[in-house]
Amino acid sequence: MTVAERLRAAGCEVAENYPLAARTSVRVGGPARFFVRPNDSAALIATLQLCAEEKIAVVPLGGGANCIVGDGGVDGCVLRLGIGFSDYDTELIRDTIDHVRITFGAATSSGRIAQLCKELGLVGAEFIAGIPGTLGGMVTMNAGTRAGEMASVVDAVEITTARGATWLNASALGFAYRRSMLPPGGIVTRVRLNLRQGSPSEIEASGRAVEADREYRKRTQPLTLPNSGSVFANPPGEFAGQLIERCGLKGRSEGGAQISEKHANWIVNTGGAYARNVVALMALAQREVKTRFGVTLRPEVKLLGTFDPPLPSELIEVVQ
């Protein structure tokens, strides 16, 4: 049996030479050797075991936000968790009258989490509504907004490897600004959040906070064009977008990619962009900010797969 046939026999949906651009929010990137969707834990574990046996790289891909896939694609197994890891897995535990721990499947979208919290009257994770993507990806990068970050609400995470699944407390995940330290080869499969049962006034205030954040994002971020979200993490005491703008780079274009005229820490696809165009603008912004301000910008987005031409040395130094 071929690798694809063995993956299907394990209970996965499998596509070969699968175009990834449409699976990313910025709409760039080449194909995956295998695009695999395991629909339950057994299929996921079998996939990880098979890939380890065949020495095939595994690249998790959630909602496709906050990542840029190279034009050469991914010579490996791009993993997208299926329906078995979605919100139907929701479990709610009431520890006290107002303290609640709620478990979501890692494939649950941020919008669905916000909706469920609203339906259940839970408060504490309003910021999640302003983050595109799925819960697993949000935990992996400790995603956040002005209003909060994942580290503030995560209680524990289920990590699945080729050896099986295990729960880790948040304290073991090494959360830092826009990053975490997951075990090598581990895939986030379920996440338990610490939230509160809100009073009527808190629930009303929560709804207002979500709507205010949504309006703020509409005003300040280029949400109408394909993008990968914030490109660089904010340096200590600075804002990456302001530094890039002060270098006069707002609106700078490369092929179909552009440093957004609305927010300089966002690169948008105005039509027909390639990953190489996006990377060229990233390298330009990083180089100019370093030259003018002595500040090294660290990418917040994940750079996945093969880039042609290869990634500029200044990006490689901070990505690896």
- 195 and 125 in contact (C-beta within 8 Å)? yes
Distance (Å) of CA 287 to CA 96, 162, 284, 291: 52, 40, 5, 6
- Which residues have C-beta within 8 Å of that of residue 170, sequence separation ≥ 6? 151, 154, 155, 156, 157
- For residue 201, count CB atoms less than 10 angstroms from its CB and return exposed for 0-12, middle for 13-18, buried for 19 or more: exposed
Rounded Cα distance, 114 and 177, in Å = 22
**Pairing assessment for the beta strands 74-79 and 58-60 based on DSSP bridges:** parallel
**Pairing assessment for the beta strands 74-79 and 31-38 based on DSSP bridges:** parallel
Instruction: Estimate to the nearest angstrom the gap between the alpha carbon of 249 and the chain centroid.
Output: 25
Q: Is 238 a catalytic residue?
A: no
Handedness of CA 59, 61, 65, 70 (dihedral sign): positive
Q: State the catalytic residue, choosing from 126, 245, 254, 300.
A: 300
- For residue 207, count CB atoms less than 10 angstroms from its CB and return exposed for 0-12, middle for 13-18, buried for 19 or more: middle
Q: State the catalytic residue, choosing from 112, 178, 190, 276.
A: 178
Q: State the catalytic residue, choosing from 230, 252, 254, 260.
A: 230
Q: Is 25 a catalytic residue?
A: no
Write the DSSP string, 48-100.
HHHHHHHT--EEE-SSS-SEEE-TT-EEEEEE---GGGSGGG-EEEESSSSEE
- 113 and 128 in contact (C-beta within 8 Å)? yes
Give the residue numbers marked as catalytic.
Answer: 178, 230, 300
